Amino acid sequence: MEKDNKIPLVYLTIDDDDESGVDFVSLVDEPAIERDFHAFAKVKEPYKFKIENKEKRIITGPFMIANLPIYRRWEDKEWYVVFTSDVIRKIVYKFMKKGMTKAVNEMHETPVDDVFIFESWIVDDVKGVPEGFKDVPEGSWFGSMRVENDDIWQKIKEDDGYMLKGFSVEGIFREDKEMTMDQEVIDAVVDAIQK
């Protein structure tokens, strides 16, 4: 008997007039989007960054990647969630309209002070993506944070053991539509987006 290789693919969305949307951008050790942020200090030479004495303490990277199937698991149930570029745009508008640039936490648990989003953009053919993030699809949400919290900055700079490496959004979303797909098709989509 052949094993059923189909898995649910759930497209998520938000509404403009309820509590749905992103509540926090979290600093995490393993981002669900499988992309780390870059920590920038003083630029020494083009496209090369290293931490120096007078640190700028800036981290930049994707908050959300458009159309990327993100694996989820709860007890014995498995599925993928997807945010389209149109939904990401709605999320960003609502997040910024509510003035949530200080809504940052660590590992989806502890809110952190002295870390804030100071720039945010949606990837398009004009704004593009920073060096080192090639092939991120249009409609993805990028941002930069300034990290003035010494404990958090140390966890970003660490290169062994526990280290914060990427962004992960958390919030309330509602199901827009669901379909089932073969795992191989989902894997091919993920591979194509993450090249």
Non-local (6+) Cβ contacts of 177 within 8 A are 10, 11
Helix (H) or strand (E) segment spanning residue 94: helix 85-97
% of the chain at pLDDT higher than 70 = 82
pLDDT given for residue 87 in this prediction: 96
**What are the tokens at 113?**
């002070």
User: For the segment 89-121, what is each residue's pLDDT rounded down to a tens digit?
Assistant: 999 999 999 999 999 999 999 999 999 999 999
Q: How far is CA 170 from CA 8, 10, 57, 97, 188, in A?
A: 21, 16, 23, 17, 26
User: For the segment 59-83, what is each residue's pLDDT rounded down to a tens digit?
Assistant: 888 899 999 888 888 888 888 899 9
Give the start-to-end residue ranges of the domains of the chain: 6-193
Q: Write the single-letter amino acid at 3.
A: K
Question: What pTM, to 2 d.p., does this model score?
Answer: 0.81
Q: Rg of the chain's alpha carbons, rounded to an integer?
A: 17
**What are the tokens at 188?**
């091919």
Tokens 């409609």 belong to: 139
Query: pLDDT band at residue 195, thresholds of 50, 70 and 90?
Result: low
HSE of 146 in the Cβ direction (CA atoms, 13 Å)?
A: 9
pLDDT given for residue 52 in this prediction: 26
pLDDT given for residue 33 in this prediction: 57
User: For the segment 35-45, what is each residue's pLDDT rounded down to a tens digit?
Assistant: 545 554 433 33
